[in-house]
Amino acid sequence: MGDDGGPGPGGPVMSREEVDRALARLGAEHEAIETSLLSLQDHAGRRLLEGAELTGVTKERWARAEEATSLLWTHFELYTAALHSVRELRARRRWPAPEELAELTARLRGPAVTVPGGADGGPGERIGLTELVDRMNGWYAQALDVVAAADSVWSALPARIDMLSAELQRVRSLAHSVGVRPGEHPAGDELEHITAELTALRAEVVADPLAFWIPAGGSSAPGGGRPDTERYDRAARALDDIRREIDAVLQVRQDAEQRLMRLRDVLSRADRTLAEARTARGEVLAKIAAVDVPAVSGPPTALYEQLAIAAEHRRHARWHRLSPLLESLEERAEEELERARASLTAVTAPLAVRAELRGRLDAYRARVARHGAADDPLLAERYDIARRLLWSAPCDLRAAEQAVLRYQRAALEVLAPPGEPAGRGEDVR
């Protein structure tokens, strides 16, 4: 031991004030470590880890954490005993003698604690109280990191998986009610896959929670990070997609009859329009000469056959098959109706042209009559020619149009005021 003021372990001999400050700091460290140890002992995650059948990375890390915890308790007892010994020495007198200060310095700064050797039974090691505190803090952080991470995963994932599994059962029940079953519909197979995935996921989370832990990047406190929910989120998204699909099928079940009635009405209108177009085509061919009249297709028999299949699906509650069929039929039926209307328009176009020429001829004749020129020989001759062409069957539209134009020009010459060119400002085509 050194004299008062002489060198001690790790530096000069400590003064009374320095000794008291060091003891206060080590006492605070002791209290903090004791509180942490008791908190770790009562941690729900630690109790769960002790009672669980662990596998994988969690089993390996928990084994090391248990070893660290055991070392922590052993060294804490040594630390407690060493601190108690130093406190007793300091408490002997209010003003310690120089040799007592030297002894206190040696115990506070020097390797005054003998710790056990490793698992191989080697000789013990003498270290200082500060180093002993650092080692205990490291073991505590190691154990707490495992316990806190496992507890976070167990607190987050199993409960969420259970809630999703309950929702899965509800969706499966709805799916079964509308005929969405495994082997019969892709959504039924997907529900079975999600069920198996959630069952496997829960078992893996319970047995190996640390496999589902993402540590925080960089330096962080023990337990820093978050649970890995990727597999859970993927299953939740898949179930949500199926739920929307089932809801759509349920909507089909609710309004299937009305949609089938609308389909029948649209196809019936398309059929009637095509029948009208076929009749009109015969009339055009009989009444109009030298024109190309497009052919008219037959009734939409293929759509009627699919409509019958849709009605059969509804009768047997095969809603999952009815849903896509109705969507396809509704689109194709509207297209069929538009095609029938376009066919009728194309077929009757020559009749429309004839009607327009007849109307124009009569309109100009009425104007001529109002001006008292109805008996004009040229006008009467040209009117008769045009009328004969337009009201004869079959009608030659090209010749009739030229005859109407000739009558129109003659009428405009008669109707024009003296000194004004005939037909100024009017379309005589």
pLDDT tens figures, 303-318: 888 989 988 888 877 7
Mean pLDDT of the region 111-116? 82
Closest CA to 27 of 106, 68, 86: 86
Which residue type is seen at 352? A
pLDDT band at 8 (very low <50, low <70, confident <90, very high): very low
Q: Between 225 and 177, where is the model more confident? A: 225
Whether residue 120 has pLDDT greater than 60: no
Whether residue 119 has pLDDT greater than 60: no
Taking the C-alpha atoms of residue 377 and residue 33, their distance in angstroms, rounded to an integer, is: 130
377: its two tokens: 């020989």
Whether residue 136 has pLDDT greater than 60: yes
For residue 319, what pLDDT is reported? Answer: 72
Taking the C-alpha atoms of residue 107 and residue 1, their distance in angstroms, rounded to an integer, is: 11
Whether residue 55 has pLDDT greater than 50: yes
Taking the C-alpha atoms of residue 190 and residue 340, their distance in angstroms, rounded to an integer, is: 42
pLDDT per residue as tens digits for the range 254-296? 788 888 889 999 999 999 998 888 888 888 888 887 677 788 8
Output the CA–CA distances (angstroms, integers) from residue 165 to 129, 131, 168, 170, in the order listed.
Answer: 53, 51, 5, 9
Q: Between 117 and 130, where is the model more confident? A: 130
Whether residue 200 has pLDDT greater than 80: yes
For residue 11, what pLDDT is reported? Answer: 66
Taking the C-alpha atoms of residue 291 and residue 349, their distance in angstroms, rounded to an integer, is: 10
pLDDT per residue as tens digits for the range 326-358? 889 989 999 999 999 998 888 888 888 889 988
Taking the C-alpha atoms of residue 86 and residue 101, their distance in angstroms, rounded to an integer, is: 11
In sign, the C-alpha dihedral spanning 31, 36, 37, 38 is positive
For residue 198, what pLDDT is reported? Answer: 95
pLDDT band at 220 (very low <50, low <70, confident <90, very high): low
For residue 297, what pLDDT is reported? Answer: 81
Whether residue 420 has pLDDT greater than 70: no
For residue 9, what pLDDT is reported? Answer: 52
For residue 181, what pLDDT is reported? Answer: 79
For residue 427, what pLDDT is reported? Answer: 54
Taking the C-alpha atoms of residue 285 and residue 395, their distance in angstroms, rounded to an integer, is: 10
Mean pLDDT of the region 132-150? 90
Output the CA–CA distances (angstroms, integers) from residue 247 to 175, 178, 180, 252, 331, in the order listed.
Answer: 9, 10, 12, 9, 21
Q: Enter the pTM of the model.
A: 0.57
Whether residue 116 has pLDDT greater than 90: no
Mean pLDDT across the chain: 84
Taking the C-alpha atoms of residue 140 and residue 61, their distance in angstroms, rounded to an integer, is: 14
pLDDT band at 5 (very low <50, low <70, confident <90, very high): very low
Half-sphere exposure at residue 58, Cβ-oriented, CA atoms within 13 angstroms: 26
